[in-house]
Amino acid sequence: MTGFQTLFYKEVLRFWKVATQTLTAPIVTAMLYLMIFGHVLQEHVQVYPGVTYTAFLIPGLVMMSVLQNSFANSSSSLIQSKITGNLVFVLLPPLSHWELYGAYVLAAVVRGLAVGLGVFAITAWVGRPSFVAPWWIVIFALLGAGILGTMGLIAGIWAEKFDQLAAFQNFLIMPATFLAGVFYSIHSLPPFWQAVSHVNPFFYMIDGFRYGFFGQSDINPLVSLAIVGSFFVVVSGLAIQLLRSGYKLRH
């Protein structure tokens, strides 16, 4: 386990050394979202009975921050290593594909959860959300961070330059996150867009995470858990296969 521990430590240290950019900046961004949307819609929107719009918004912002920063950590690490050429020093040691996968994804989970906790600590005093089912919060936060960390790993393996990685993030990750019900309930959408939301796995991550706070959700949390868990297995299997084959890494 020495190789895994060393690579994991290296990945955590990589984002911790620039904490202003990797931790503080996302927290400030989430706070700005809360100030703008909460102030404008607080008196006009009530999604769940007895839940203010600000309280409804906070779990969505927390989960959005977890997802986006988990993806950013693993994807940026790999693309930087490939472009600067220091990836060879990761591939030379006898690390298995399981160790590579575990170290990169676990470090991404750590960063995602750290940002999520920071966002919650800063915003919770505004909306004061409750904790009806805390284990649901933990489960969906871990699964969501793991999925996006894995997707970041896949994107980092596939991309050969920063432009390709930016396209992956701007045209897939960002739209899927913003259209997953962070700022609204899908029941407020027309039927067509409700149907579109149901094929977005990010929606189930955020909806299940929000259920842990209020005990209310747009979808049965067990259904969300089954879909999110299945999606995690699929993307993990793909990432591990890419690492095993050395696709765009060893060849």
How does pLDDT run along the chain (251 residues), one tens digit per residue? 788 999 999 999 999 999 999 999 999 999 888 887 766 666 656 667 777 888 888 899 999 999 999 999 999 999 999 999 888 898 888 899 999 999 999 999 999 999 999 999 988 777 667 788 999 999 999 999 999 999 999 999 999 989 999 999 899 998 898 888 888 888 878 888 888 888 999 999 999 999 999 888 888 999 999 999 999 999 999 999 999 998 988 76
CA gap 105, 48 in Å, rounded: 34
CB 25 within 8 A of CB 65: no
Produce one character per residue of 97-117: b if its CB has 16 or more CB atoms within 10 Å, e if not.
eebbbbbbbbbbbbbbbbbbb
The three-state secondary structure class of 21 is helix
What pLDDT does 72 receive? Answer: 95
Burial class (CB in 10 A: 0-12, 13-18, 19+), 14: middle
**DSSP state, 219?**
S
What pLDDT does 108 receive? Answer: 97
What is the amino acid identity at position 34?
Answer: L
CA gap 110, 108 in Å, rounded: 5
For the chain, what are the domain ranges? 23-245
